[in-house]
């Protein structure tokens, strides 16, 4: 069970100053403790630089964090909750205003932003405007100044870096040739020239630029393209006699290509000067890979870089939900030709369709993510970079592409739009024809009201019918609880196991798993309440797919803020939750809060897995009695070769840890530290790089996830 609260899930809620003497004293004590933590962390960083970390310092840091948690669990802290809620509202208002300013900046001024807003108001009414405001900037605060500073410090070439790149070019074992494919039609002359200029200025010289003009009607197109091709023999141009749209134009450009790898570039976008060098460097690092993709950002109308998308490593499930590959997308040329090139009828999502077909041929292990911004996507009128509604046909094409991909792979599933107008897809996998028995394992100790709410919601709301419930009674004493047990035993599919041993979440579930008759296990906390009736259909549909391991759900606090949207390794220490405390209606970082995706770990508060896999990896580690047992379990499932999945489409409330109190109470502190040490000894190598996250994003507990890392855990020359 992922610990909560703990240093891995620190509360980011802003705090309003309390007015009573007791509250003021408590706030001062908390501020002082936080200051001591910051000072000690600074000392620890200094010690790490000298490769000498004091065990005493580590223990003291953990103790200070525990002190903070105890303060936050105190009665006085709880009574200040209304004050903090006011602060949360103020913060949300500040973030919305910040996001509005960002939208005005990226749209090219207030007038264009108002036109966009008026269009939404006309189409969707005031409710649509509210939804749009909630979705602005991916549901997170965005700081353009911070990103500009980050670019200047970590993503700009200096003379020394350029010199080092030139030196490394001489050492490459392989110097692949790149064919950059560009379909063009009635391009803005300034943007077209900037695109070509960005290719001509590449540090890496072994390229050709293949441009297919798709029967443009503007006279300047031929003039510019002929002029540029005359200037550099590496620029190849063909002029189509009739307009065939983007897929046919891309195939015409592809026909000019003679390189080892094909690179996709739009006619108005820009490559940074080191893009091809970095790709060549990764080709040398991964000589067997056949597909590469990078991070990306956008260009405003005035050329300012904004809104970076720092992607996860290859994520097959999320790739079905969104085209995370496209910018910058690099394919082995032979693979593209084997796949048949671009297909007419998939315009707007032609690259998504191509990548799906190429992955089917190459296999997932031949796809490599490059964690650097190697593509600047222009936010021009008519571009989906500016607004996803610009090309509604692209969404239709994406749905078709994924549907056909599923059919080719004999996967029984349907595809639809996941969230409002956002181009995120929901692949809904069918449950097996004969629905397998699922064993729901629910450890509990008293707390009968929560348990009753949990079981009633399962019985009354769950559409999936072939399940049994195993309640593990861990020493309940209250008469009303014992009477409830006798009552639910009357249900044919509910069983009660008694276990009087000291609380050990891992052991309770392991013992229940032995008794379970189901082909699938569902670990379920007693404080869970069903929201979406098809939650178990959704999770079993995913868990039944070959190669999938643990499947996690979307868990919400009763105030409709997100408790669990998946677990990130290393976040805030050992592990933390993605998008924690995000308000319902937000989509998260580039839609990730509403996209099914592969993650390294999910919480055991609601987790579904095949019983055979559970047994294969040895179940939950009983040395982790309370904290991190689910994280450790999921990492072992992943290590065994399975892919863990989180879905936003199985939604439940989590009335978190209401019956057991904090895992960080002083009497439990030693146990917690021991469990932290075990995780560090076993999984420390993953703490710096969870493949579901990005080394350019922060792991600090002091900031929100998906905030820029300062410094990043990678650099241009890596």
Same domain, 57 and 162: no
pLDDT at 671 over 90: no
Please indicate whether residue 279 or residue 39 has the higher confidence score (pLDDT): 279
642, part of any domain: yes
Q: Are 653 and 528 in contact (CB under 8 A)?
A: yes
Residues constituting the chain = 718
Same domain, 354 and 499: no
Span 96-112, average pLDDT: 48
The last residue of a domain, from among 39, 54, 79: 79
pLDDT value of position 98: 47
555, part of any domain: yes
Least confident among 63-72, 574-583, 665-674? 63-72
CA–CA gap between residue 94 and residue 73 (Å, rounded): 27
Q: Which two tokens stand for residue 642?
A: 């399975």
Sign of dihedral through CA atoms 677, 679, 681, 687? Answer: negative
Q: Are 445 and 503 in contact (CB under 8 A)?
A: yes
Same domain, 376 and 491: no
| Residue 534 DSSP code | T
CA–CA gap between residue 116 and residue 136 (Å, rounded): 13
- pLDDT bracket for residue 91 (50, 70, 90): very low
Q: Which two tokens stand for residue 710?
A: 């300062």
Instruction: Look at residues 567, 562, 530, 537 and name the one whose alpha carbon lies nearest to residue 552.
Output: 567
Task: Determine how β-strand 548-556 pairs with β-strand 643-654.
Answer: parallel
Q: Quickly tell me which residue has 């222009």 as its tokens.
A: 378
Mean residue pLDDT across the chain: 84
Instruction: Look at residues 543, 551, 632 and name the one whose alpha carbon lies nearest to residue 599.
Output: 551
Same domain, 398 and 451: no
Segment (H or E) for 209: strand 207-213
CA–CA gap between residue 475 and residue 526 (Å, rounded): 14
Q: Is 610 left (phi over 0), alpha (psi -120 to 50) or beta?
A: beta
180, part of any domain: yes
505, part of any domain: yes
pLDDT value of position 115: 55
Q: Are 430 and 459 in contact (CB under 8 A)?
A: no
Same domain, 397 and 445: no
Same domain, 633 and 679: yes
- pLDDT bracket for residue 392 (50, 70, 90): confident
Q: In Å, how far from its chain's centre is CA 629? A: 22
Give the CATH number for residue 646: 3.90.550.10
The last residue of a domain, from among 53, 79, 105: 79
Split into its structural domains, the chain has a count of 3
Same domain, 466 and 415: no
pLDDT digits (tens, 9 = 90+) for 500-530: 999 999 999 999 999 999 999 999 999 999 9
113, part of any domain: no
pLDDT at 364 over 70: yes
Which residues sit opposite 235 in a β-bridge?
A: 209
Same domain, 483 and 611: yes
308, part of any domain: yes
- pLDDT bracket for residue 133 (50, 70, 90): very low
Instruction: Look at residues 369, 329, 296, 302 and name the one whose alpha carbon lies nearest to residue 689.
Output: 369
542, part of any domain: yes
- What percent of the chain is modeled with pLDDT above 70? 77
| Residue 437 DSSP code | P
CA-atom Rg of the chain in angstroms: 27
The last residue of a domain, from among 61, 79, 97: 79
Q: Which domain holds residue 526?
A: 438-687
Same domain, 405 and 486: no
Same domain, 262 and 333: yes
Same domain, 69 and 197: no
161, part of any domain: yes
Same domain, 246 and 308: yes
Least confident among 41-50, 453-462, 689-698? 41-50
Span 261-283, average pLDDT: 97
């Amino acid at each position: 069970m992922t610990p909560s609260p703990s240093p891995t899930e620190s509360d980011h809620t802003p705090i309003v100053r309390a007015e009573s003497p007791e509250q003021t004293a408590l706030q001062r004590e908390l501020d002082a403790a936080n200051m001591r933590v910051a000072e000690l962390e600074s000392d620890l960083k200094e010690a790490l630089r000298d490769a000498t970390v004091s065990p005493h310092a580590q223990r003291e840091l953990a103790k200070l964090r525990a002190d903070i948690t105890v303060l936050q669990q105190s009665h006085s802290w709880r009574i200040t909750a209304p004050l903090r809620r006011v602060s949360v509202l103020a913060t949300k208002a500040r973030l919305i205003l910040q996001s509005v300013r960002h939208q005005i900046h990226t749209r090219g001024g207030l007038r264009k932003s108002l036109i966009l807003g008026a269009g939404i108001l006309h189409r969707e009414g005031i409710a649509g405007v509210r939804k749009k405001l909630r979705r602005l900037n991916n549901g997170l605060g965005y700081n353009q100044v911070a990103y500009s500073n980050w670019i200047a410090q970590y993503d700009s070439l200096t003379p020394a870096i350029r010199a080092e790149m030139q030196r490394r070019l001489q050492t490459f074992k392989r110097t692949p040739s790149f064919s950059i494919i560009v379909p063009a039609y009635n391009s803005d002359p300034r943007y077209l020239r900037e695109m070509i200029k960005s290719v001509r200025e590449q540090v890496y010289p072994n390229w050709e630029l293949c441009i297919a003009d798709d029967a443009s009607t503007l006279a300047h197109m031929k003039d510019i393209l002929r002029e540029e091709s005359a200037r550099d023999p590496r620029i190849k141009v063909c002029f189509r006699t009739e307009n065939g749209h983007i897929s046919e134009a891309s195939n015409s450009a592809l026909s000019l290509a003679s390189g080892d790898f094909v690179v996709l570039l739009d006619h108005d976008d820009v490559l940074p000067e080191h893009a091809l060098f970095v790709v060549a460097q990764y080709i040398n690092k991964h000589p067997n890979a056949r597909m590469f993709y990078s991070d990306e950002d956008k260009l405003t109308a005035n050329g300012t870089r904004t809104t970076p998308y720092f992607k996860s490593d290859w994520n097959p499930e999320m790739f079905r939900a969104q085209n995370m590959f496209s910018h910058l997308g690099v394919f082995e040329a032979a693979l593209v030709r084997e796949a048949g090139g671009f297909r007419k009828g998939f315009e707007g999502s032609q690259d998504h369709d191509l990548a799906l077909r190429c992955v089917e041929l190459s296999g997932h292990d031949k796809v490599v993510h490059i964690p650097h911004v190697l593509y600047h996507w222009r936010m021009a009128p008519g571009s989906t970079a500016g607004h996803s509604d610009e090309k509604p046909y692209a969404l239709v094409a994406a749905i078709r592409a994924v549907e056909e991909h599923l059919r080719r792979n004999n996967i029984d599933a349907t595809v639809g739009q996941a969230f409002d107008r956002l181009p995120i897809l929901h692949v809904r996998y069918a449950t097996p024809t004969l629905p397998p028995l699922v064993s729901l394992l629910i450890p509990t100790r008293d707390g009968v009201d929560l348990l009753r709410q949990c079981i009633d919601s399962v019985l009354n709301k769950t559409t999936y019918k072939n399940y049994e419930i195993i309640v593990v009674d861990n020493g309940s004493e209250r008469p009303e609880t014992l009477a409830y047990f006798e009552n639910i035993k009357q249900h044919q599919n509910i069983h009660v196991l008694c276990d009087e041993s000291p609380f050990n979440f891992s052991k309770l579930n392991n013992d229940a798993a032995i008794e379970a008759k189901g082909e699938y296990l569902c670990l379920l906390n007693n404080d869970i309440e069903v929201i979406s009736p098809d939650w178990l259909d959704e999770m079993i549909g995913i868990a039944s797919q070959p190669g999938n391991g643990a499947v996690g759900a979307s868990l919400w606090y009763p105030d409709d803020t997100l408790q669990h949207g998946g677990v990130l390794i290393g976040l805030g220490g050992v592990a933390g939750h993605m998008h924690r405390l995000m308000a319902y209606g937000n989509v998260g970082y580039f839609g990730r809060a509403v996209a099914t995706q592969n993650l390294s770990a999910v919480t055991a508060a609601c987790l579904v897995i095949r019983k055979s896999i559970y047994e294969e990896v040895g179940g939950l580690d009983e040395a982790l009695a309370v904290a991190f047992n689910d994280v450790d379990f999921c990492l072992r499932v992943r290590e065994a070769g399975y892919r863990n999945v989180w879905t936003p489409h199985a939604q439940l409330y989590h009335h978190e840890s209401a019956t057991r109190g904090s895992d960080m109470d002083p009497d439990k502190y030693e146990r917690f530290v021991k469990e932290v040490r075990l995780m560090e000894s076993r999984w420390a190598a993953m703490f710096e790089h969870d493949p579901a996250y990005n080394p350019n994003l922060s792991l600090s507990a002091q900031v929100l996830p998906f905030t820029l890392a300062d410094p990043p855990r990678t650099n241009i020359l890596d």
